[in-house]
A and B are shown apart, each in its own frame.
Chain A
């Protein structure tokens, strides 16, 4: 069966510091992978998606970047965090043929 992991679970970072969030998937090959952000009290916004190693599509201009160095690894990064980067970050993979399955999320607070 497929599982999806995210870490860290929570993170508190100062403004201007770098960021690296990791997502890994087990039990599936060449999945579509997604990063979403959920701001407090709001819905989910798609940030990035990837259809394969090294293939990243950005949905909105922002202070973040994504990379996919391995088939089942998806990383969200920033060189310098902004206050507005605070939120709940969710990684997901696409299952059959339209479903998406989400990881447990990372709660990021930028102070």
Chain B
């Protein structure tokens, strides 16, 4: 079955540091890949997505590239801010026509210190 593996947190960085959160996946075929962000006490917000190999998703300074050869979708940001502190989830969408559910990683908590 499908699975998503994320690096364990928490990740603690100073403001303006470079961020990488690793994500690898196992799936049949070529799923769509997503990063969601969850701020304290809130639901999940879509941060970025990629639907095919070599696609780069980007939003709010965050980027991730769909790497088929390494089955990875690592999240990066060049300079983090305190407001980026949140839990980040990597996810994939299966291609089953009816279900189209998301399989999530366990989440990585990011703490950015001023």
Chain A interface residues (CB < 8 Å from chain B)? 6, 32, 34, 42-44, 46, 49, 51, 57, 59, 90, 92, 94, 97-105, 107
Contacts and interface: CB of A to CB of B under 8 A. Distances in A.
Given A98-B32, A104-B42, 15 more contacts: A42-B107, A43-B89, A44-B44, A44-B89, A44-B102, A46-B102, A97-B100, A98-B49, A98-B51, A99-B46, A100-B46, A100-B102, A102-B44, A102-B45, A105-B43
A94 B98 CA distance: 11
A43 B101 contact: no
B99 A57 contact: yes
Interface of B: 32, 34, 36, 41-46, 49, 51, 89, 93, 98-107
Q: What does DSSP make chain A's interface, helix, strand, loop or mixed?
A: strand
Most A CB contacts (10 A, CB to CB) among B93, B98, B100 go to: B100
Nearest to B51: A98
15 contacts: A6-B43, A32-B98, A34-B101, A34-B102, A42-B106, A43-B107, A44-B44, A44-B89, A46-B103, A92-B102, A99-B34, A101-B46, A102-B44, A105-B42, A107-B41
